[in-house]
Structure 1
Amino acid sequence: MISKCFCGSNDTFEQCCKPIIDRIEPAPTAQALMRSRYSAYVIIASQYLIDSTHISQRANYSKADIEAWAKESHWQKLEIIDCKKGLLNDSIGEVEFKAYYKDSKNILQIHHEKSVFKKESGDWFYVTSV
C-alpha cells in the first residue's frame, strides 16, 4: 500500500514533497514550501531546511540543532490553518499551521506558527514566524 505524503496531501511523498526537497522542482507556492519543510523534518533533510531558509536568516539556524530536534521528535501530522498570498504570482506569503509531534518523552506537542515566506528569483524561502 502506498501511503500519503508526510505533509498530509493526498499525493504520495514521491509525487508531492520529495521533488521539492531533492530540488528537482521548485515549490510553486508558499504552502508547498511549508509542506516540503515539514516533510524535511520527518525525513531529517537538514540541509534542505537550511537551504530553503532565506539567506538573511540562515545564521540563526544550525544543521546540528535542526537534526537534533528532528531526530528526537516523532512527527504525527501537519495541519494548515490559513494561507495569505503566497501563490504562483506572489512574492510574499504567510502560512499558519500546526505541526503535531511527540517529544523525546513521548508527550504530544503542537507547534503552532504563522510563517512568512518570500519568493526570490522564482524560489520560495522561509523568512520568519510572526
Structure 2
Amino acid sequence: MHHSRLSTIVIDCDIDHLDVATAFWSHALGKPVASADQDGDGRYAELQTAADEPIILLQKVDHASRVHLDIETDDLDAEVARLEKLGAHRVALVRDRWWVMEAPSGHRFCVVQPQRAAFGPHLNRWD
C-alpha cells in the first residue's frame, strides 16, 4: 500500500529572470512570495500557500512556458507503476529524486517525494 496526492502546481517560465513572473503570479493569485529564490540559483520561486493547499512553484525552464502538476507520494516506484497502468509513461528520472511522466493526453507531470513535513491531508490510499 502507498499514498499520493496532488502536491504542487508548477508554473514553468521560459524567461531570463523569474522576478517579473513571480511578481505577476503573486498579485494575480493573491499569494505573497514565500521565497523569491528557493535554491539560490535563480531557478525556483515559491508563493505562500496554506498547509492544505497545493504548493505554487515557479520554475525557470528552457522549453515553452506551461503549467504542470506534481504528484507527491510515499513510494515513488509504486506510484509510477500505478500511473503507467493508467496509460502514462516515463520520460526522465531527474537527480534520482523524481520522475517526469507523460499522460496519455500528452501532458507532462512529475511524481515526487513528499514536499511538506506533514504528508496529508487529502491523501489517496492505493493498494
Q: Specify which structure has the bigger relative contact order, considering alpha-carbon pairs within 8 angstroms and separated by 6 or more residues.
A: 2
Say which one has the larger Rg. 2
Q: Which has the higher helix share?
A: 1
Q: Which has the higher strand share?
A: 2
TM-score by length of 1: 0.26
